[in-house]
Amino acid sequence: MGHGTLHPAILAGLCLLPGIQTAVAVHFQVWPEVTYPLLKGAILAAPLIVWKLTGRRRGELLADVGLTRPSLWRGLAGGGLFAAVIVGGYFVALAGRIDPGPVAAKAAALGIAEPWRYWAAAAFISLGNSAIEEYYWRGFIVSQLRRWIPGTAALCLAGGLLFGVHHVFAMASAFPANVVALGVAGTVVAGAAWTWLRLRGWSLWDLYLCHVLADLAVFLAGWDLIRSQG
């Protein structure tokens, strides 16, 4: 173990924290007005606490996190590719084959069934939540996992699988099992790809832009489902 390395039990808990947040606040909707911001706050605070306690130097930390100079074309090209695959896959394989009722019901339960509310939530999640996820997963968790997992392939697989966990709870109450499995598989692939790109030296800013465009594509597919419910 090197300087700043977490005990594996603590790291395991931190890897599951986003899944706990999504399960409690989104899937089971246990006081979401309280649990959502509280657990999001914990996700934001945990890396800061770890970095403070381990005494990381500023320059070392910035390089480790990936807050380097972005290359705009990387994020646009990567995000455009992910968005095209998501939208194309939805309209080719899923549109008209999924019962939109549960999706519309979930949107209504979350108070985002109206168009302006839906797209306000889409903007918040795509811009805000994507930033939190990149900060937490590729900026923090990946830098910790690489201290324990040798080899790029194993690290990318771990990064993808862990990233996919909390998406199970995000989708389970709105889609049938086969669609959930397909969607989670997509997030595992995305998480593995973004982990690989991070290891290849992509800036966290590039990954953020890529993530935003991918999330907007998901919301576009979701809105098509809600609109089809009429």
| pLDDT at residue 15 in the model | 96
How far is CA 162 from its chain centroid?
Answer: 10
- For 116-151, the pLDDT digits (tens) are 999 999 999 899 999 999 999 999 999 999 999 989
Cβ-contact 169, 26 below 8 angstroms = yes
Tokens of 51: 């970095």
Cβ-contact 133, 18 below 8 angstroms = yes
Least reliable range by pLDDT among 50-59, 77-86, 212-221: 50-59
pTM for the predicted model, two decimal places: 0.92
Please report how the helices 204-229 and 72-89 are oriented relative to each other, as an axis angle in degrees rounded to 10: 30
| pLDDT at residue 4 in the model | 61
| pLDDT at residue 2 in the model | 47
- For 101-114, the pLDDT digits (tens) are 888 988 888 889 99
**8-state DSSP, 175:** S
